Chain A
Amino acid sequence: MLNSLFWTFWLWVIALPFAGPIKSIYIASVFFILSFLRFIKFPATISSFKDNWDEFLSKANEKIPYGYLIVRILFILSIIIIPMFLDRRANNILVDCGIYALLALGLNIAVGFAGLLVLGYIAFYAIGAYSYALLSVHFHIPFFVCVPISAGMAIIFGILLGLPVLRLRGDYLAIVTLGFGEITRIVLNNWDGVTNGPNGILGIARPSIGSFVFHSPKNYYYLILVFLFIAVFIFNRLNNSRLGRAWVAIKEDERAAKAMGINCMSLKLLAFAISAAFAGVAGAFFGAKATHVSPESFTFFESALVLCMVVLGGMGSIPGAILGASCLIIIPEIFRDYFGNSRMLLFGIVMIAMMRFKPEGLLPYKRRNL
């Protein structure tokens, strides 16, 4: 008590020059309240909720034949049906959630599986988006042909960047990818001849199948849903394979992994490349949805946002990534008037607090029983 009073006062003092005496009181008192939160087992309730849910599911599975299957089908049906009752704006938000969930899943392959901290992840998203934009505007290549090309471009850049850096210690990767993110943005901004500078590229074609053109948010929602299903499928398959185990081994202890005959360098490169490919696909989708791309969509803010989603949901966890994306997109949207510009501040706090109190995330990945 005395301790937290002291630190509250301390924070008030150091916040003084920036916030002035009154605002500093707010800041310090937020800390004061937070310092009491640790007496409440708040984060624990969430995970116990998840445990109970799992338990409920497995019990249901015993009692009702095909219980798991039924719950799954109900879940899938609900995410298919719900958007039909929502308006344009809500559906738009859901599409954003989908894009970010795709990004969070992709980043999870690097960060959650192989333990590679990528801080400029959005660069691959930008590469994917600009690849599609340029191909669409100059050569009129349809969206579904461009998706694999966008993924391929992201992979190529991923490999070019990964080759020199991945053999070094992990921290270097973090800073080099941070730099890479910034370089990409500067190049997009300054290479007027190709990227049209800060104005970006306009008039990107919408995706179409036959004569059907995707135009409303609802259309895009179902399209991103398909992408997400594929992503979840890939993620799952990788996670439960020989590769998935090897990645975790590398993340946990590189030296021991090598002694098991795991070629750390090439596997890390693989994880990095797959991760980049996810971002490339998400980027192409983003370009197709917005119909224009410009450098300002690809700032460090976005990279940090995606990382925050991964951290919040739980590294290596599919429901975690989706929950993280939904939370960080939907909640600020609902409280838009209250949060205003303080969104990023909260993301920073979330990252610090999660690492300190619940590093495994809200929906941690549990190893399966084999």
Chain B
Amino acid sequence: MLAQQIINGLTVGSVYALIALGYTMVYGILQLINFAHGEIYMLGAYLAIIFVVSLKFSLPIAGLLPLVFLFAMFFTGCYGFTIEKFAYKPLRNAPRLSALITAVGVSIFLQNYVMLTQGAKDKVFSHLISEQINAYFSNFFSKFIPSDGSRLYICGAQIYSLQLVIIITSIILMVLLNLFVTHTKIGKAMRATAQDLKMAHLVGIKVDTVISTTFIIGSILGAAAGVMVAMYYGRVWYYIGYLAGVKAFTAAVLGGIGNIYGAMFGGLILGLTESLAAGLIPGASEWKDVFAFIILILILIFRPQGIFGERIGEKF
């Protein structure tokens, strides 16, 4: 039971972590809460399903999956870039309140854009594809982990192979992100800009490019989370970005907003708390969504800088 909840928590947590990274990176550089980021995750999930549905089984799973990821990541990256360009960039010197309101506007826009174009009902994968994907990975994991064909058994917990895929993919993406910000030139420029935007500008860093890149990378990570969630549940709804967004933001604050490692850690902690509380406290599963907010308020009261501390203090 406990192991089951831990695995569930890690699954949700790694999704939160991936989304939280987008919040935290943008916040680190622009001190802007990009409310629309939850919607980016939702776009990613939709794109995955749209792609799979439009292909109609014409590809084997091994070839399909990378394409789904690429497709969703490419388009959400474009969306992230476009949103920054049209909505946020003109407001870079405006009061913070304006930028926040714009972010809320973008979020509302995207939600309804998807609702209008894709319909207000759930969008569903064909069951067959979901099962195929699950079976494909079960087959793969069964070489290492005992399984019964559709589920895996670890320490007495029954796990869908996709849960493992989500956790592993998230870890890989986070390692890649870490390599990116520490080893590439643009990654280093990102860190410099997060420290001090004006100074970075003065030493010749192309701040606009850095900000665009940040949005694109954040969006790509969010899209990855969306794709995996879409595969796991087999369905999406235009409203999923809202809750996931708020929770991911909570995760970012929990770890210390502006801090990349904090976001990863905060996401996992939040996911674990949520699923342990919902699983172990009787009757609590209806109230699962409330936990995240209560955690958020508690952190803000007792440790507003988060577990790892904010990288950027208030600038004077």
Chain A residues packing against B (C-beta within 8 Å): 10-11, 13-15, 17-20, 23, 111, 115, 117, 119, 161, 164-165, 168-172, 174-176, 178-180, 182-183, 186-187, 190, 255, 300, 304, 307-308, 311, 341-342, 344-345, 347-352, 355-356, 359
Contacts and interface: CB of A to CB of B under 8 A. Distances in A.
Among the interface residues B71, B114, B116, which one has the most CB atoms of the partner chain A within 10 A? B116
A352 B109 CA distance: 9
Interface stretch (B146-154, B168-176, B295-303): B295-303
B98 interface: yes
A176 B297 contact: yes
A186 B98 CA distance: 29
Interface residues of B, number: 61
B87 A182 contact: no
A348 B109 CA distance: 5
B261 interface: no
A96 B101 CA distance: 24
B33 A348 contact: no
B109 to A, nearest CB: 3
B105 A348 contact: yes
Contacts of B286: 186, 190
4 closest A-B pairs (Cβ-Cβ)? A351-B105, A348-B109, A348-B108, A179-B293
Contacts of B115: 341, 344
Contacts of B165: none
Contact of A307 (B46, B47, B101, B297): B101
A171 B96 contact: yes
Contacts of B87: 352, 356
Nearest to A185: B289
Given A14-B78, A182-B246, 11 more contacts: A15-B117, A117-B97, A164-B297, A165-B297, A169-B314, A171-B100, A172-B253, A179-B292, A183-B293, A304-B108, A348-B110
A304 B290 contact: no
A11 B82 contact: yes
Contacts of A190: 286-287
B253 A344 contact: no
Q: Interface on chain B toward A: helix, strand, loop, or mixed SS?
A: helix
A81 to B, nearest CB: 37
Given A17-B47, A168-B300, A179 B78 contact: no
Nearest to B243: A182
Among the interface residues A115, A175, A183, A311, which one has the most CB atoms of the partner chain B within 10 A? A175
A135 to B, nearest CB: 25
B75 A117 contact: no
B33 A174 contact: yes
A351 B112 contact: no
Contact of B296 (A10, A13, A176, A350): A176
Contacts of B136: none
Among the interface residues B98, B101, B110, which one has the most CB atoms of the partner chain A within 10 A? B101
B316 A255 contact: yes
Contacts, number: 143
Contact of B289 (A15, A172, A186): A186
A13 B117 CA distance: 15
Contacts of B113: 18, 345
B50 interface: yes
A238 B219 CA distance: 44
10 contacts: A10-B82, A20-B117, A170-B96, A174-B100, A176-B293, A344-B111, A345-B108, A348-B105, A349-B105, A356-B102
Contact of B101 (A13, A344, A355): A355
A342 B117 contact: no
Interface string B40-62: 00000011001100000000000
A347 B107 CA distance: 11
Contacts of A115: 97
Among the interface residues A11, A311, A342, A356, which one has the most CB atoms of the partner chain B within 10 A? A356
Contacts of B71: 17
Interface in B80-138: 82, 86-87, 90-91, 94-102, 104-118, 120
B69 interface: no
Contact of B75 (A17, A304, A344, A349): A17
Nearest to B87: A352
A175 to B, nearest CB: 6
A20 B115 CA distance: 14
A349 B246 CA distance: 22
B112 A345 contact: yes
B117 A186 contact: no
A348 B106 contact: yes
A14 B297 contact: no
Among the interface residues B46, B113, B287, B292, which one has the most CB atoms of the partner chain A within 10 A? B113
Nearest to B54: A17
A15 B270 CA distance: 34
Contacts of B50: 17-18
Contacts of B287: 186, 190
Contact of B33 (A171, A186, A359): A171
Nearest to A344: B112
A178 B289 CA distance: 13
B120 A182 contact: no
